[in-house]
């Protein structure tokens, strides 16, 4: 049984378990199913999913990598430094694999800076925005550029100048840019609203030949 529409993909992804106790320090905000489905659907239409080996950096509960596997990725490396997040990710993978016969998933508990594998074709990442640990978003981008020839990375839209500059520095070019309202539910004591919206951009960057 395969996924036949973006709406169906969103519905399936919305059934995955999220973070049980999100870490403020690690900026653990799960990618909303609506955004993840649009992201993975656009990747699929552009030829960046089927048969590919993908690195899901800062994988969290695995919504992006599992979405890629649902749409035909050959293998996904799920990498996250949080043991709790990786446990949930593995549970989500096992549940989906029992229903859809996914490609291979490899689960790595590690700081992304320490991960290395020659097999990666494409990197997807929704890394920390860098509000709690300065320059963490830069580190994720630099690592992604060293791992794959195609990188899909999400950042706060107002930082687009930074993304464009570092992309150019590493010999990549921006081929697509999508913009979303990233809605975050109130999960911490200091939150005063039930929902927050963050203006984010999703960049597709490809290494220049």
Task: List the chain pLDDT tens, one digit each, 209 residues.
Answer: 589 999 999 999 999 998 766 544 545 578 899 999 999 999 999 999 999 999 999 999 999 999 999 999 999 999 999 999 999 999 999 999 999 999 999 999 999 999 998 899 999 999 986 555 566 889 999 999 999 999 999 999 999 999 999 999 999 999 999 999 988 775 545 445 566 788 999 999 999 98
Residues in the chain: 209
pLDDT of residue 188: 45
Residue 128 CB neighbours (<10 A): 20
Q: What is the reported pLDDT for 95?
A: 97
Instruction: List Cβ<8 Å contacts ≥24 apart for 103-106.
Output: 103/69, 103/72, 103/73, 103/74, 103/75, 103/76, 104/74, 104/75, 104/76, 105/62, 105/65, 105/66, 105/69, 105/75, 105/76, 105/78, 106/75, 106/76, 106/77, 106/78
Domains, the chain? 6-207 (3.40.50.150)
pLDDT at 194: 62
Entry pTM? 0.90
Whole-number pLDDT of residue 30: 81
Q: What confidence score (pLDDT) does residue 206 get?
A: 98
User: Residue 28 has what pLDDT?
Assistant: 54
Q: Say whether 121 sits in a helix, a strand or coil.
A: coil
Beta partners for 53?
75
């Amino acid at each position: 049984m395969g996924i036949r529409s973006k709406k169906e993909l969103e519905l399936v992804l919305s059934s995955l378990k999220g973070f049980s106790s999100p870490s403020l320090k690690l900026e653990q905000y799960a990618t909303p199913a609506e955004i993840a489905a649009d992201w993975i659907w656009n990747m699929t239409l552009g030829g960046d999913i089927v048969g590919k080996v993908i690195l899901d950096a800062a994988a969290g509960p695995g919504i992006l990598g599992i979405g890629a596997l649902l749409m035909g990725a050959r293998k996904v490396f799920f990498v996250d430094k949080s043991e709790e997040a990786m446990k949930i990710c593995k549970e989500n993978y096992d549940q989906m694999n029992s229903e859809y016969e996914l490609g291979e998933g490899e689960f790595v508990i590690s700081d992304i800076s320490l991960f290395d594998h020659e097999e990666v074709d494409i990197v997807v990442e929704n890394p920390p925005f860098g509000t709690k640990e300065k320059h963490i978003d830069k580190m994720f981008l630099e690592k992604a550029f060293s791992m794959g020839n195609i990188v899909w990375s999400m950042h706060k839209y107002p930082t687009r100048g930074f993304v464009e500059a570092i992309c150019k520095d590493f010999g990549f070019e921006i081929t697509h840019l999508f913009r979303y309202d990233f809605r975050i539910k109130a999960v911490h004591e200091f939150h005063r609203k039930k929902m927050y919206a963050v203006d984010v951009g999703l960049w597709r960057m490809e290494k220049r030949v």
